[in-house]
Amino acid sequence: MYPSRFQYEAPRSLEEAIGLLHDGGDYVKVLAGGQSLVPLMKLRFASPELVVDINNVPGLDYHRAEPDGSLRIGALCRHADLERSGLLKTTQPTMAAAAPLIADPIVRNRGTLVGSLCHADPQGDWAAVVLALGGSVVAHGPGGSRSIALADFVTGPFQNVLEQDEIAVAAVIPAARGARSGGYLKLERRVGDFATVGVAVALETSGGTVTRAGIALTGVGGSTIAATAAAQALTGQPLSPETIAQAANLAAEAAQPRTDHRGSADYKRHMVRTFVQRILGRPEPAASDTAGERAA
């Protein structure tokens, strides 16, 4: 199908883009990688009057470590940039594990992490990863910038808190206070598919004790789920078979899966438990070794 008729603008600055969104009418959309928006428009699930393509806006195509130790990912940083990133491989095991599991190479070449967060698909992989890491989104609008914790950014399936004239300019992952470990595991029906179940685990440890834990789930609820009780069960504890089993059980309890053509609710819950156990039960990874893999 073809999209409904729409006006297209490709501004060359952030201010121009925000002005277009501000004056653009009732239904305007930002276009980043287009890997979710364009299919929705072609199916006519989305029929914006105006599409503001931000691909000509300079200074958004980056990911970098900031002086305070945080990681900042610009709105035009593609999934493929993150998949190939040496910085992620050495400092961000959960992100490095997830990047190659997003869709297929064609989608990864265009789609962006920030676009994925904005799209807020319950089956989007990046939201679980960024949630587990305690990350946030930086939005820019006519009134300036604001930072929104991802836990507050997504309000429901395909919904976020951005105003119509705000653009998400970056995602930020806070600096780690301990040694980082973790991973992302994804069950999919075939390579390149959306997650039937995805589990992101992000740990920080110091002297054998977990100082911070984040666990988040993809595809097993109406939106990405933060398994906070599971993460709390690990915090302040050494990783042991008992704490791992407890966290895995609590994560499975936090899941809200539904039985569908991909599997029964029980099966999906079982996979959440198994993935948490698998990621946490691995020996401490070397800097370049991450726990990302597809599970068939």
Contacting residues toward ligand FAD, per CB under 6 A = 29-37, 39, 75, 102-103, 107, 111-112, 114-116, 118-119, 124-126, 162, 167-168, 194
Tokens of 211: 């100082």
Any idea which residue has 């911070």 for tokens? 212
Q: Are the C-beta atoms of residues 79 and 114 closer than 8 Å to each other?
A: no
d(CA 137, CA 155): 13
Helices then strands, counting H and E runs in the chain, come out as 12, 15
By C-beta, is 80 or 213 nearer to ligand FAD?
A: 80
- The pair of structure tokens assigned to 102 is 């997003």
CB of 111 to ligand FAD, least distance (A): 2
37 vs 154, beta carbon nearer ligand FAD: 37
CB of 77 to ligand FAD, least distance (A): 10
Q: Considering the complex, what minimum distance in angstroms separates the CB of residue 282 from ligand FAD?
A: 23
- Name which of 33 and 93 has its Cβ closer to ligand FAD: 33
CB atoms within 10 A of CB 50: 17
**Exposed / middle / buried, residue 249 (Cβ in 10 Å: 0-12, 13-18, 19+):** middle
- Torsion on CA atoms 105, 109, 110, 112, rounded to nearest 10: 90
C-beta closer to ligand FAD: residue 140 or 278:
140
The least CB distance from residue 98 to ligand FAD, in Å, is: 9
* Beta carbon nearer to ligand FAD, 71 or 167: 167
Backbone angles phi, psi at 229, to 5 degrees: -65, -40
Closest CA to 193 of 263, 251, 257: 263
Give whichever of 146 and 246 is closer to ligand FAD, judged by the CB atom.
146
Q: Looking at beta carbons only, is 53 or 253 nearer to ligand FAD? A: 53
If the CB atoms of residues 194 and 275 are measured against ligand FAD, the closer one turns out to be: 194
Tell me how far, at minimum, the Cβ of 198 lies from ligand FAD, in Å.
8
DSSP string, 226-272: E-HHHHHHHTTSB--HHHHHHHHHHHHHH-----BTTB-HHHHHHHH
Distance in Å, CB of 237 to ligand FAD, minimum = 31
Min dist. Cβ of residue 24 to ligand FAD (A):
12
Name the closest residue to ligand FAD (Cβ).
111
CB of 173 to ligand FAD, least distance (A): 17
- Of the CA atoms within 13 Å of residue 250, those in its CB half-sphere come to 18
Alpha helices (H) in 3-104, listed in sequence order: 14-23, 37-42, 79-83, 86-91, 93-98
